[in-house]
């Protein structure tokens, strides 16, 4: 394992055996694997990952740890795209005992203080780890999560977030109109309703179009870039 300059990027090549691979939603896999002894990361960080299978070893894709650095295993929650015929499709054919290769740890999202977390789809994964850490530290406080998905069936770890955040967990569904869930896309109005005296930071993660729209909404509410912490998926 090689450490470069500072904590921002740690390069390595570690083969890790999968202990559990299962569906978390209809198209999201939860993969639990062995944790390399020297691995270190912060909640919110990702790793470049490939599959330890002939022809796939050099196909690196970034995935975020949904486990905590103190766990004795690593976990990823991965949305699969069969139509891309890429790495996430190939993951669908893996079983317990198959292996992944971890190539490096990186990522810009880290918890700085209370605020509103805004996620789209699999963009929630850095927040899974951050919220797990906040729960362990007893610091959930007034943090809020606004989570955008197409349908209820797409919501990753809904029960867990509901239990942890209660009314501070706001779901926005674009393709379904269900009581208790916002309908449409994340808007300035939806965000504004969640801003209170505890809101110092805004955490954004999701696909680029959703990120662009959310950032515009934040700017329209007078939120400055220095309190926006983001990563595009
Ligand atoms: C820092 C970071 C962390 C991330 N963490 C996670 C995470 O924890 N969980 C998660 O689910 N995702 C995460 N992602 C997103 C994840 O990396 C991508 O979804 C993943 O790389 C897709 O890999 P793939 O090989 O299946 O498809 P791709 O690499 O997107 O596509 C493979 C090939 O398919 C073709 N293709 C591309 N788009 C399409 C399309 N729309 N239709 C048809 N063909 C297409 C292209 O030829 C492409 O080369 C993260 C991304 C970043 C940047």
CB atoms within 10 A of CB 14: 20
Ligand 1 atom closest to residue 66's alpha carbon, by position in its atom list: 8
In the predicted model, what is the mean pLDDT of residues 29-45? 95
pLDDT single digits (tens) 162-218? 999 999 999 999 999 999 999 999 999 999 999 988 889 999 999 999 999 999 999
Quote the pLDDT of residue 198. 80
- Whole-number Å distance, alpha carbon 197 to ligand 1 midpoint, is 37
The secondary structure element, H or E, covering residue 91 is helix 87-91
Residue 5 has pLDDT above 50, yes or no: no
Quote the pLDDT of residue 9. 58
Quote the pLDDT of residue 2. 34
- Answer with the residue of higher pLDDT: 210 or 9: 210
In the chain the beta strands, taken as DSSP E runs, fall at 2-3, 10-23, 28-34, 46-51, 61-64, 73-79, 99-106, 115-120, 144-149, 169-173, 182-183, 201-206, 228-232
The structure tokens listed for 10 are 């740690």
Ligand 1 atom closest to residue 28's alpha carbon, by position in its atom list: 11
- Residue whose CA is closest, atom 44 of ligand 1? 84
Residue 135 has pLDDT above 70, yes or no: yes
- Whole-number Å distance, alpha carbon 18 to ligand 1 midpoint, is 20
In the predicted model, what is the mean pLDDT of residues 108-112? 93
């Amino acid at each position: 394992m090689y450490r470069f300059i500072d904590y921002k990027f740690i390069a390595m090549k570690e083969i890790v055996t999968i202990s559990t691979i299962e569906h978390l939603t209809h198209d999201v896999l939860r993969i639990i694997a062995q944790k390399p002894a020297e691995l270190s990361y912060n909640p919110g960080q990702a790793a470049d990952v490939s599959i330890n299978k002939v022809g796939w070893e050099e196909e690196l894709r970034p995935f975020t740890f949904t486990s905590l650095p103190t766990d004795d295993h690593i976990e990823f929650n991965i949305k699969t795209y069969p139509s891309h015929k890429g790495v996430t499709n190939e993951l669908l054919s893996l079983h317990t005992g198959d292996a992944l290769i971890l190539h490096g740890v990186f990522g810009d999202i880290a918890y700085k203080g209370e605020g509103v977390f805004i996620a789209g789809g699999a963009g929630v994964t850095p927040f899974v780890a951050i919220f797990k850490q906040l729960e362990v530290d007893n610091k959930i406080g007034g943090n809020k999560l606004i989570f955008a998905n197409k349908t209820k069936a797409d919501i990753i770890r809904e029960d867990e977030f509901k239990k942890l955040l209660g009314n501070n967990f706001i779901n926005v569904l674009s393709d379904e109109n269900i009581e208790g869930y916002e309908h449409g896309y994340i808007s300035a109005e939806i965000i504004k309703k969640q801003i209170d005296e505890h809101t110092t930071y805004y955490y954004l993660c999701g696909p680029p179009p959703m990120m662009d729209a959310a950032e515009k909404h934040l700017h329209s509410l007078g939120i400055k870039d220095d309190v926006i912490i983001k990563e595009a998926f």
